[in-house]
């Protein structure tokens, strides 16, 4: 007798979707839940993890206090999840799996956004470096301790596999469509909201942004839809169009590629991606060449004007110094690490365990702990 969730999945998912009944299971075997599918359990485990909660107080781009308007890692994650679920439903994919992947996709980020990641990577140069995707894997498999019988969250293999793909692990299988959808949604979300946040912070103007063809087209569509707008109304409408357009393009493109490649199974999704079907390798959920080049122009512009702006860089440098000092302090005071990190230091070495501890901190806890350990500098 199939369970309710098996019946629902068999009625609603396409043959190219990852069906939970076909899951490779978990590393530590657990009995099935009476009414939640394996991927629903994964999603719930991620939402209830400490790493997920801390996303609320981690920054992405705008380290330090720049006001309350811009996105935190948590709100970015929720925007990605919302876009990814729209794509998943339109393509008849497994929404529970997509939701798990989207909610988990940034849990490995340390405090201070990319500034924090770069610093930890430098500090761990002799120890294999630091990367947020690899760190997410450590959180999932080791660092979260919520269950008595195993370390980590014991997530389904498909969730771990998606994470392995992201850290460019060459041994990882070709990504499922559920993974491809989350990657695409991540890119749509950050291009758009970083532009929005940057305008709000006065780092650039909508007029400047509208010089980019991708944004100019969105502005033209907004005019068609709403007539002439100005100020904040215009900005919101243009950014909304930018998301809407990319999502619609992706859905249309993906449907076309599924039809053209006669994709009717997960195995065919994988062989289309890695080219073992002899057709050269195709990512099914990917923007068109034109959209992709428009996005690259936008990203280049944001990089120069936002991520490398003097305003962002000044705060970034000071924050990186604090993180470095705190890292060095814990490396010479390893007995001050919380018990779990102290005991893992025996296995993984003090620098890695210190990095695990610091990477789990929120921006504000890092500042607080730096003050406590090293005094205010
Ligand atoms: Mg992200």
Statement: residue 256 has pLDDT above 60: yes
Write down the pLDDT at residue 300: 96
Residue 167 has pLDDT above 90, yes or no: no
| Rounded average pLDDT over 70-91 | 95
Cα of 170 from ligand 1 centre, angstroms:
21
Does the structure show a pLDDT above 90 at 264? yes
Confidence tier at 83 by pLDDT (50, 70, 90):
very high
pLDDT, position 168: 64
Average pLDDT estimate for 124-151: 94
**Where residue 377 falls among pLDDT bands split at 50, 70, 90?**
low
- Identify the pLDDT of residue 376: 63
Banded pLDDT at 318 (limits 50, 70, 90): confident
Mean pLDDT for the stretch of residues 26-36: 94
pLDDT at 107: 97
> How far does residue 292's CA lie from ligand 1's centre (Å)?
18
Would you state the pLDDT for residue 170?
A: 73
Distance of CA 103 from the midpoint of ligand 1 (Å):
9
Least confident interval from 5-14, 154-163, 169-178, 326-335: 169-178
**CA separation for the pair 112, 365 (Å, rounded):** 11
All domains of the chain in start order, with CATH: 54-374 (1.10.3210.10)
pLDDT on residue 240:
95
Using 50, 70 and 90 to split pLDDT, how confident is the model at 66?
Answer: low
pLDDT of amino acid 227: 95
Dist. CA 102 → ligand 1 center (Å)? 8
Q: How many whole angstroms from 77 Cα to the centroid of ligand 1? A: 6
Distance (Å) from CA 105 to ligand 1 centroid: 6
pLDDT at position 229: 93
Residue 254 has pLDDT above 90, yes or no: yes
Query: How far away, in angstroms, is 133 Cα from ligand 1 center?
Result: 10
CA 176–ligand 1 middle distance (angstroms): 18
Expressed in angstroms and rounded, the spacing between residue 271 Cα and the centre of ligand 1 is: 26
CA distance 39 to 97: 5
Contacts of 87 (CB under 8 A, 6+ apart): 93, 98, 181, 184, 185, 247, 250, 251, 254, 285
Ligand 1 geometric centre to CA of 106 (Å) = 5
Residue 236 CA to ligand 1 centre (angstroms): 21
Helices 177-200 and 73-90: crossing angle in degrees, nearest 10, is 140
CA of 76 relative to ligand 1 center, distance in Å: 7
> Span 280-298, mean pLDDT?
94
Q: Which of 85-89, 172-176, 259-263, 331-335 has the lowest mean pLDDT?
A: 172-176
Closest listed residue to residue 140, CA positions, set 154, 158, 161, 128? 154
Confirm whether pTM is higher than 0.75.
yes
Q: What percent of the chain has pLDDT over 90?
A: 82
Give 65's pLDDT tier (boundaries 50, 70, 90): low
CA distance 343 to 320: 27
**Rounded Cα–Cα distance for residues 186 and 216 (Å):** 22
| d(CA 376, ligand 1 centre) in Å | 32
Q: Which string of b and e fits 338-372 if b means at least 16 CB within 10 Å? A: eeebeebbeeebbbbbbbbbbbbbbbeebbebbee
78 C-alpha to center of ligand 1: Å?
A: 10
CA–centroid distance, 71 to ligand 1, in Å, is 11
Cα–Cα distance for residue pair 163/107, rounded to 1 Å = 11
Whether 105 shows a pLDDT value over 90: the answer reads yes
pLDDT of residue 150: 92
What pLDDT is recorded for position 342? 96
52 CA distance to ligand 1 middle (Å): 13
How far does residue 80's CA lie from ligand 1's centre (Å)? 7
**How far, in Å, is the centroid of ligand 1 from the Cα of 195?**
15
- With a cut of 70, say whether residue 182 has pLDDT above it: yes
- Measure 35 CA to ligand 1 centroid, in angstroms: 30
pLDDT value for 312: 82
Mean pLDDT lowest for which of 103-117, 265-279, 306-320, 332-346?
A: 306-320
Query: Which residues fall inside 5 Å of ion ligand 1, going by CB?
Result: 106, 186
> What integer is the mean pLDDT of 314-322?
88
Structure tokens at 68: 């309350």
């Amino acid at each position: 007798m199939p369970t309710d969730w098996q019946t629902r999945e068999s009625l609603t998912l396409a043959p190219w979707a990852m069906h939970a009944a076909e899951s490779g299971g978990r590393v530590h075997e657990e009995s099935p839940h009476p009414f939640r599918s394996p991927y629903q359990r994964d999603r719930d485990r991620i939402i209830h993890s400490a790493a997920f909660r801390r996303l609320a107080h981690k920054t992405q781009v705008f380290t330090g206090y720049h006001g309350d308007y811009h996105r935190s890692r948590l709100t970015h994650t929720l925007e990605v999840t919302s876009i990814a679920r729209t794509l998943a439903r339109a393509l008849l994919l497994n929404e529970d799996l997509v939701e798990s992947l989207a909610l988990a996709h940034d849990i490995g980020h340390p405090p201070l956004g990319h500034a924090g990641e770069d610093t930890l990577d430098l500090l761990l140069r002799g120890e294999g470096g630091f990367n947020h995707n690899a760190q997410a894997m450590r959180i999932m498999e080791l660092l979260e301790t919520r269950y008595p019988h195993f370390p980590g969250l014991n997530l389904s293999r498909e969730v771990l596999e998606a994470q392995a793909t992201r850290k460019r692990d060459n041994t990882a299988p070709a990504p499922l469509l559920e993974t491809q959808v989350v990657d695409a949604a991540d890119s749509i979300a950050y291009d758009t909201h970083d532009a929005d946040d940057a305008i709000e912070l006065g780092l650039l103007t909508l007029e400047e942004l509208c010089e980019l063809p991708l944004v100019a087209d969105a502005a033209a569509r907004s005019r068609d839809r709403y007539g002439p707008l100005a100020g904040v109304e215009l900005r919101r409408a243009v950014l909304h169009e930018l998301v809407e357009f990319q999502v619609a393009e992706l859905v249309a493109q993906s449907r076309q590629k599924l039809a053209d490649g006669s994709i009717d199974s997960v195995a065919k999704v994988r062989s289309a991606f890695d080219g073992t079907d002899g057709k050269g390798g195709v990512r099914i959920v990917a923007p068109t060449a034109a959209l992709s080049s428009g996005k690259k122009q936008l990203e280049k512009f944001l990089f120069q004007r936002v991520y490398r702006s003097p305003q962002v860089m000044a705060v970034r440098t000071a924050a990186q110094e604090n993180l470095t000092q705190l890292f060095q302090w814990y490396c010479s005071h390893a007995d001050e690490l919380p018990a779990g990190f102290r005991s893992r230091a025996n296995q993984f070495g003090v620098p890695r365990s210190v990095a695990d501890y610091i990477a789990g901190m929120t921006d504000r806890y890092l500042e607080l702990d730096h003050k406590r350990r090293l005094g205010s500098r």
